[in-house]
Structure 1
Amino acid sequence: MHAKRSVQAPTDPVLTRRLVLTPVGRGDVDDLVLLYSDPVVAYWTGPWTRAGVEAWAANMAAGWTADGVGKWMARARSDGSLVGRGGFTRFDLAGEMVLELGWAVRDARTGRGYATELGRAALDWAVTHHAELPIVAFTEVHNRASRAVMERLGMGPAGIIRREGLVEGRTGIHPDAPFALYRL
């Protein structure tokens, strides 16, 4: 008799050395509000309202159902405390369907390698579940911390895209901000 090998479903928890990654769902709104209220997280990802977080969480849950891909909540394996969120969004980038890798780590936990650990787990997950899709990541050109994570993950610069975001030296959100695009 051969032992049956279990195949991991896309929505099964992903374990890393320090993190438990679980698909974002509607039940994660309180933790997401906490995450997005951190000043540095809010600077790069905000501004957020509770209604906006609820809509985003519902959209992520729908993405997991429709596409088998989405963002995870990242919690510490040691005590279940919130570390951040990250993972993929499937979307059309100039006519090419891609997985966009992104993350946000609580302010108190930055600088400890959590974004890189989450990113590596996501890349490993993608090989199993969506190997056919190219992987990209992007951030505002002046977000040096996120660009450094992309480089640690083995991603290389692939140009500039423009979308709504921050522009260095200017206040507020701008409709045509430059984002550094990276590809695996």
Structure 2
Amino acid sequence: METERLRLSPIGPHCADELYRLHQDPGIARWYGDWTRAEAEARAAEIGRSWHRDGVGKWLAYHRKSGELVGRDGLSYQDVSGARRLEIGWAVREAHWGNGYATEIGLAGLTRARELRVTEVVAFTEVHNVRSRAVMERLGFTYRHDFPHRGEPFALYAISQSD
């Protein structure tokens, strides 16, 4: 899949090194923790399985002109507030913050959700992650409520889509 500035490549086991490198970025590690190479390998394998099992998964986002790794994004099914829901998420390397990449890749994820005829997509982040919350609002998500996730308070947003 391509956007105006990005090429989105599905993550699978072959992407473990790139996923590991991405999560070494200070701006991403701040929110997702320090991943080991083994964790990146396990996560890449799980994302690959989700593409086959669910028809959705995460993409690595590369700049179309330079080929530089910008971030990752995509869709996955998550247990959120006691229900299995389609979640969209993104992570952009700190050097690229403020350039609209999270919004651009978020729109690509919502397009994929519409293709799958999914009527609701959720997004969530730590309650104090104002940058991510602003992206959610730019994409048209509405704040629903806070909920506990990984032992921390997270803010849940949702968007309803119709044909």
TM-score bin (small chain): over 0.9
SS at match of 1:37: coil
Q: In angstroms, what is the RMSD of aligned CA positions?
A: 1.1
Work out the percentage of aligned pairs sharing the same amino acid.
50
State how far apart, in whole Å, the 2-side matches of 1:76 and 1:82 are.
6
Q: Does 1:34 align with 2:21?
A: yes
| TM-score where L is the length of structure 2 | 0.93
Q: Does 1:145 align with 2:120?
A: no
Q: Does 1:181 align with 2:151?
A: no
**Matches for 1:17-166 after TM superposition, within 5 Å:** 17-129=4-116, 131-164=117-150
- Structure 1 equivalent of residue 3 of structure 2: 16
Note the residue ranges of structure 1 that are not aligned, 5 or more in a row.
1-13, 165-175
Q: Is this contact kept in 1: 2:81–2:147, CA < 8 A?
A: no
Q: CA deviation at 1:93?
A: 2.5
Q: CA deviation at 1:25?
A: 1.1
State how far apart, in whole Å, the 2-side matches of 1:106 and 1:149 are.
15
Q: Which moved more, 1:131-140 or 1:112-121?
A: 131-140
State how far apart, in whole Å, the 2-side matches of 1:44 and 1:70 are.
20
Choose 1 or 2 for highest CA Rg.
1
Note the residue ranges of structure 2 that are not aligned, 5 or more in a row.
none
User: For residues 50-96 of structure 1, what are the alpha-carbon distances to aligned partners after superposition, in whole Å with 9 as ceiling and x for unaligned?
Assistant: 00000000000000011100101101111221011001111232343
SS at match of 1:69: coil
| TM-score where L is the length of structure 1 | 0.83
Size of the aligned set, in residue pairs, is 159
SS at match of 2:23: helix
Q: Which moved more, 1:94-103 or 1:48-57?
A: 94-103
**Residue identity opposite 1:160 in structure 2:** D
